[in-house]
Amino acid sequence: MSVARRRGLIAPDHGHLSIVRQCELLSISRSGFYYAPCGASELTLLLMRLIDEQFLETPFYGTRQMMRHLRRLGHWVGRQRVRRLMRLMGLEAVYQRPHTSTPHPEHIVYPYLLHDLTIDRPNQVWCADITYIPMRRGFLYLVAVMDWATRKVLSWRVSNTMEADFCIAAVEEAIGRFGVPEIFNTDQGSQFASPRFTGVLAAAGIRISMDGRGRWMDNVFIERLWRSLKYECVYLHAYETGSELRAGLSTWIALYNARRPHTALAGRTPDEGLWIGATIACSRACPGAGNGQSGGMMMNQGLA
């Protein structure tokens, strides 16, 4: 249980137990009970916004280059502060590095399965990723599950922490609505490598694929989604609350899925690509089903 939850269990007006004794029973310090968390300053939020915008353009910028970029914009910040903010945002520069770290013993790193693989049908490969979402007075994290072949966003969740729960909820929703993919590809982030997350995929019989460390190009389609989403939705609105952000994201993702054509899909939308791909797959599997009922059923599932 987190410190915040344990702190909420303390009753200051308890008739028999003092605050000190309640803190001892819950294994938190007395100062921890009185601590009131404070939000990030306006300057910190501005720096994080600038870092996020630049990282979309130059994902190979590390802390040193990002520090120089901010200084050229008139913000005299140190490298340690930039490093702390990038770590908070979940950003890591793309570059080749020696193998100097040992994975957590409970976190299995799976091989990358998409090398030289022709991906041409729905539910063949899904991918997922997390991105930082700036707001007027804070920030949140967004996870999305995407079908690789059709670029359709199958599900998404917003969270104020980087824990695995909201990633698991997004995957479970996608499986419940669209079935089971053959392969699920992610990066090696702790959320996706956790036994709880991979356990959901393994239980459904899904093959797990993970990008090489620092290789954002291995999951390039969802990286492009983040770029479009931020420039066309997030950066155009200064969202105040999580509910406002969710409403804005829901509107934009609905537009992206149903009304935005893609060059890679021959001018079709992701929803149309999902329906056509599912219809072709169904006709190959059931060549005698020529009445279109199966395809219509798949279309309804894809547009749900």
* Residue 25, in any domain of the structure: yes
Q: In terms of domains, do 51 and 23 share one? A: no
Residue 216 lies in a domain: yes
Question: Does 17 share its domain with 82?
Answer: no
pTM over 0.85? The answer is no
In a domain, 54, yes or no: yes
Q: Residue 217 maps to which CATH number?
A: 3.30.420.10
Instruction: Classify residue 181: in a domain, yes or no.
Output: yes
Q: Is residue 76 part of a domain?
A: yes
**Quick one: pLDDT at residue 108?**
84
What pLDDT, on the 0 to 100 scale, is given for residue 38?
66
Give the model's pLDDT for residue 302. Answer: 35
What is the reported pLDDT for 123?
93
Q: What is the DSSP string of the chain?
A: --HHHHHHT--TT-SS--HHHHHHHTT--HHHHH----PPPHHHHHHHHHHHHHHHH-TT--HHHHHHHHHHTT----HHHHHHHHHHHT--------------TT---PPP--TT----STTSEEEEEEEEEEETTEEEEEEEEEETTT--EEEEEEESS--SHHHHHHHHHHHHHH---SEEEE-S-HHHHSHHHHHHHHHTTPEEEEPPTT-GGGGHHHHHHHHHHIIIIITT----SHHHHHHHHHHHHHHHHHT--BGGGTTB-HHHHHHHHHHHHHHHH-TT--SSHHHHHHHHHHT-
248 in a structural domain: yes
What are the 10-residue block averages of pLDDT along the chain, 304 residues in total? 62 80 81 70 92 88 92 94 92 56 64 88 93 88 94 95 93 96 92 93 95 64 89 89 95 93 85 75 56 38 34
Please check whether residues 147 and 231 belong to one and the same domain.
yes
Report if residue 52 sits inside a domain.
Answer: yes
Owning domain of residue 170: 125-253
Q: What is the pLDDT of residue 60?
A: 82
Query: What integer pLDDT is reported at residue 230 of this predicted model?
Result: 92
Number of domains in the chain: 3
Q: Is residue 278 part of a domain?
A: no
On whether both 239 and 175 belong to a single domain, the answer is yes
Residues 188 and 223 in one domain: yes
